[in-house]
Homo-oligomer: A and B are copies of this chain.
């Protein structure tokens, strides 16, 4: 792991790091905020998965998570959204596929299956690296994310319910196997057999019996992507009648981007902190 930068902020340290990823077969960059409490004791970890077109830096610049993370003593890890580099196949003109659009899945179709292993990267490889290199209490993890990263956060929590204390999302893509943002990408990464898509679709996972609680979702009601991409109602309907503790908040007047995310970030970090620090 190499240090790209380490910058003091809110009493802690905002770092950017790179490493050679085995899962993605390329150099990967990620951001970690370490709160001041980590100088004295291992701190719990909150994962933040970013949305389409983003890398590790968007939320680091615009997400406003550091103040509350520093107050509550939470490490915040922000991975990239896809493998990148000259040797990574891509469609440069397509913002919904390839670079910046890994969808937190493990591709099985050639030529993408060599690099696009974001599920394994976020679930297996990067946690190991974090546990080794930071004063992190890996027995206490929670996960959140925005848009494509909200999809990532909820699907990963549903499939790894024992690992996370809580899961939240900002305007997540709740039904990616049937949304304009993701359906063509799912086909390229996973092929035409839609049964393999179910493990990366929040609603299908719940229908197939996966469970996670608690889940907190904020969704802006003037989000231009709500009906076509996010479809919060599909999640509400699917979770209905299950024992999933889902809180879906429709936020009046908010759109899809960081002015929305940063507005509710404080509450999300504080909510995760409550679950991460309770017995």
A255 to B7, CA, bound (A): 7
Q: How many copies does the complex hold?
A: 2
Question: C-beta contact mask, A127-167 vs B, less than 8 Å → 1, else 0?
Answer: 00000000000000000000000000000000000000000
User: CB distance A8 to B64 under 8 Å?
Assistant: no
Our pick among B8, B222, B258 for the contact of A259 (Cβ within 8 Å) is: B8
**Residue A199 is within 8 A (CB to CB) of chain B in the complex:** no
Our pick among B62, B255, B257, B263 for the contact of A62 (Cβ within 8 Å) is: B62
Classify the interface of chain A: helix, strand, loop or mixed. Answer: mixed
**Residue A112 is within 8 A (CB to CB) of chain B in the complex:** no
Our pick among B8, B66, B266 for the contact of A67 (Cβ within 8 Å) is: B266
User: CB distance A14 to B64 under 8 Å?
Assistant: no
Q: Which residue of B lies closest to A11 (CB)?
A: B263
Residues of B within 8 Å of A61, CB to CB, are 61-62, 258
Our pick among B8, B10, B254 for the contact of A8 (Cβ within 8 Å) is: B254
Once A62-B61, A64-B64, A64-B67 are accepted as A-B contacts, the answer to whether A8 and B266 lie under 8 Å apart by CB is no
**Residue A119 is within 8 A (CB to CB) of chain B in the complex:** no
Q: Which residue of B lies closest to A259 (CB)?
A: B9
**Residue A103 is within 8 A (CB to CB) of chain B in the complex:** no
Question: C-beta contact mask, A212-244 vs B, less than 8 Å → 1, else 0?
Answer: 000000001010000000000000000000000
User: CB distance A8 to B62 under 8 Å?
Assistant: no
**Residue A253 is within 8 A (CB to CB) of chain B in the complex:** yes
Question: C-beta contact mask, A236-279 vs B, less than 8 Å → 1, else 0?
Answer: 00000000000000000111011110110010000000000000
Complex A-B, nearest 10 residue pairs according to Cβ-Cβ distance, in ascending order: A9-B259, A8-B253, A7-B259, A10-B263, A8-B254, A61-B62, A64-B64, A9-B263, A14-B259, A61-B61
